[in-house]
Amino acid sequence: MRSKEVITLLSFIQNQRKVVEKEIIRLKSISTAIGHIEDKIKYALEIKETNKIYFREIEKRFIIDVELNRKDNENDIEIKLRKMDKVVEDNELMFEGESGYFVDLDLFLNEGEICYKIIYSTICGEDIENKYVDTKEISEGKFICISYLNNEREMAVDKLRKYIEENNIHPRCIGVEVQLFNTLEQWKNEDVLYELQILI
């Protein structure tokens, strides 16, 4: 082989190494995301009883989110979700397997009403500082929680609100409703399991 051919071969090999290393990083991210999703499914499967109040320590969650308007209907929300998915895809982020809504905590505490302010999805936090996308966090900490099915929402919300009031618990500005079982037609499915989490 001539010197020029050797240099060309070396350059080709070095470029292929970079491609392989990038793919290894991508596959590790996928593996991590799958692990998080697996953990969330196992957690949901462990819930044996709904409408029971409990406490959980939850780690910090990285999220992307979209604000909602009170007038948004299902189609509006679907369009916003697609835009969020596009941001994830364009920025090569990995969903972590949790989706939910930030609720208006004042409205919940004062009137027992669940009003969605923001829809969010968790994303893997690895390498997130190198991405040029507006990510936010849900703080880690102790959360008071209650799980419920779609048709039990009103009863669960009332029960948790009364418990917080009667036990003089002071929530710390974060309330989210998490969808534990994700289905394709969540608006029509009564078997979807939710968890209301309030940071205390």
pLDDT digits 0-9 by tens, 34-59: 888 888 888 877 887 888 999 999 99
Residues 113-158 have pLDDT tens digits of 889 999 998 988 766 666 677 888 999 999 999 999 888 889 999 9
- pLDDT band at residue 95 under the 50/70/90 scheme: confident
178 membership: H or E segment, kind and range: strand 175-179
Q: How much is the pLDDT for 130?
A: 63
Q: How much is the pLDDT for 166?
A: 95
Q: How much is the pLDDT for 170?
A: 92
Of all residues in the chain, what percent carry a pLDDT higher than 70? 91
Q: Can you name the residues that pair with 121 across neighbouring β-strands?
A: 64, 99
Domain ranges of the chain: 3-199
Of the two residues 90 and 54, the one the predictor is more confident about is 54
- CATH number at 3-199: 3.20.80.10
Query: What is the chain's alpha carbon radius of gyration, rounded to the nearest angstrom?
Result: 22
Closest CA to 83 of 121, 26, 137: 121
On whether the CB atoms of residues 105 and 171 are closer than 8 A, the answer is yes
- Whole-structure pTM value: 0.79
